[in-house]
Amino acid sequence: MKQPRSADRWVVEAPAIPQASPALRLGELLVRAGHATQEQVNQALELQPLLHKRLGEILVEKRWSTPRAIAEALAEQCGLEFVDLTQVAVDPRATGLLQEGFAIGHQAVPVRFLDDNNVQVAVADPTNLNTTDELRLALGVNCTLAVAAADALASTIQRNYRLTIAVTDQAPELDDVIDESMADGALDLVNDLIGRAVNAGASDIHLNPQPRDVMVRFRVDGVLRDQAPIDKRLQNAAAARVKVMAQLDIAEKRMPQDGSFVVYIGGNAVDVRAAILPTKHGEQVVLRVLQRETKLELPQLGMSPEMENVFMRAIEQPHGAVISCGPTGSGKTTTLYAALDRLNDGLRAIATIEDPVEYQLPGVMQTEVHAKINLTFSRGLRTILRADPEVILVGEIRDEETAKIAIQAAMTGHLVLTTLHTNDAASAIARMRTLGVDPDLLAGSINCIVSQRLARRICMHCREAYEPSQEQQMSMNLISTGSTLTLYRAAGCLQCGNTGYSGRVALYELMPVHGLGRVLLDGSTDEIFEAAVAAGMRTLRDDGVRQSLAGVTTLEEVRRITGDRRLLA
Ligand SMILES: [Zn+2]
Q: How remote is the CA of residue 265 from the centroid of ligand 1, in Å? A: 28
Q: How remote is the CA of residue 208 from the centroid of ligand 1, in Å? A: 29
Q: Could you state, in chain order, the average pLDDT of each consecutive group of 10 residues for the chain (569 residues)?
A: 37 42 71 88 82 81 87 88 88 82 79 89 80 75 89 79 38 38 66 81 89 89 83 84 87 86 73 88 90 56 88 94 92 89 88 84 84 84 89 95 96 96 94 95 94 93 90 73 81 84 91 88 93 92 92 92 71
The continuous run of DSSP H or E covering 46 comes out as helix 38-51
93, 113 Cβ separation under 8 angstroms: yes
Q: How remote is the CA of residue 551 from the centroid of ligand 1, in Å? A: 14
The alpha-helical segments, DSSP class H, found in 392-469 are 400-411, 425-434, 439-445
Question: For residue 132, what are the contacts with CB-CB under 8 A and spacing of at least 6?
Answer: 15, 17, 18, 126, 145
Using a 10 angstrom Cβ sphere, with 0-12 exposed, 13-18 middle and 19 or more buried, the burial of residue 141 is middle
Q: How remote is the CA of residue 561 from the centroid of ligand 1, in Å? A: 21
pTM, two decimal places: 0.59
Q: How remote is the CA of residue 388 from the centroid of ligand 1, in Å? A: 50
The pLDDT score that the predictor gives to residue 413 is 94
Q: How remote is the CA of residue 459 from the centroid of ligand 1, in Å? A: 5
Q: How remote is the CA of residue 220 from the centroid of ligand 1, in Å? A: 15
Q: How remote is the CA of residue 473 from the centroid of ligand 1, in Å? A: 25
The pairing of strands 487-489 and 320-325 is unpaired
Q: How remote is the CA of residue 227 from the centroid of ligand 1, in Å? A: 19
The alpha-helical segments, DSSP class H, found in 235-289 are 235-245
Which residues are 173's β-sheet partners?
Answer: none
Q: How remote is the CA of residue 222 from the centroid of ligand 1, in Å? A: 17
Q: How remote is the CA of residue 461 from the centroid of ligand 1, in Å? A: 5
Question: CA-to-CA distance for 124 and 67, rounded, in angstroms?
Answer: 9
The pLDDT score that the predictor gives to residue 359 is 76
The pLDDT score that the predictor gives to residue 514 is 86
Q: How remote is the CA of residue 553 from the centroid of ligand 1, in Å? A: 12
Q: How remote is the CA of residue 495 from the centroid of ligand 1, in Å? A: 5
Q: How many CB atoms lie within 10 A of CB 11?
A: 10
Q: How remote is the CA of residue 465 from the centroid of ligand 1, in Å? A: 13
Total residues belonging to the chain:
569
Q: How many CB atoms lie within 10 A of CB 341?
A: 17
Q: How remote is the CA of residue 386 from the centroid of ligand 1, in Å? A: 53
Q: How remote is the CA of residue 206 from the centroid of ligand 1, in Å? A: 25
Question: For residue 93, what are the contacts with CB-CB under 8 A and spacing of at least 6?
Answer: 113
Question: CA-to-CA distance for 171 and 234, rounded, in angstroms?
Answer: 8
Q: How remote is the CA of residue 223 from the centroid of ligand 1, in Å? A: 16
Q: How remote is the CA of residue 458 from the centroid of ligand 1, in Å? A: 8
Q: How remote is the CA of residue 490 from the centroid of ligand 1, in Å? A: 8
The pLDDT score that the predictor gives to residue 20 is 46
Q: How remote is the CA of residue 498 from the centroid of ligand 1, in Å? A: 6
Q: How remote is the CA of residue 471 from the centroid of ligand 1, in Å? A: 27
Question: For residue 235, what are the contacts with CB-CB under 8 A and spacing of at least 6?
Answer: 207, 209, 214, 282, 283
The pLDDT score that the predictor gives to residue 183 is 59
Question: CA-to-CA distance for 327 and 5, rounded, in angstroms?
Answer: 48
Question: CA-to-CA distance for 426 and 528, rounded, in angstroms?
Answer: 6
E strand spans, 89-153:
108-115, 118-123, 142-147
Q: How remote is the CA of residue 338 from the centroid of ligand 1, in Å? A: 29
Q: How remote is the CA of residue 504 from the centroid of ligand 1, in Å? A: 14
Q: How remote is the CA of residue 198 from the centroid of ligand 1, in Å? A: 21
Q: How remote is the CA of residue 224 from the centroid of ligand 1, in Å? A: 17
Q: How far apart are the first and last CA of the chain?
A: 61
Q: How remote is the CA of residue 460 from the centroid of ligand 1, in Å? A: 6
Q: How remote is the CA of residue 503 from the centroid of ligand 1, in Å? A: 11
Q: How remote is the CA of residue 333 from the centroid of ligand 1, in Å? A: 29
Q: How remote is the CA of residue 464 from the centroid of ligand 1, in Å? A: 10
Q: How remote is the CA of residue 502 from the centroid of ligand 1, in Å? A: 7
Which residues are 119's β-sheet partners?
Answer: 113, 143
Question: CA-to-CA distance for 298 and 239, rounded, in angstroms?
Answer: 39
Q: How remote is the CA of residue 7 from the centroid of ligand 1, in Å? A: 52
Question: CA-to-CA distance for 490 and 272, rounded, in angstroms?
Answer: 32
Dihedral sign for Cα 299, 300, 305, 309, please.
negative
Q: How remote is the CA of residue 331 from the centroid of ligand 1, in Å? A: 24
Q: How remote is the CA of residue 556 from the centroid of ligand 1, in Å? A: 16
Q: How remote is the CA of residue 501 from the centroid of ligand 1, in Å? A: 6
Q: How remote is the CA of residue 174 from the centroid of ligand 1, in Å? A: 42
Q: How remote is the CA of residue 226 from the centroid of ligand 1, in Å? A: 18
Question: CA-to-CA distance for 217 and 207, rounded, in angstroms?
Answer: 7
Q: How remote is the CA of residue 552 from the centroid of ligand 1, in Å? A: 13
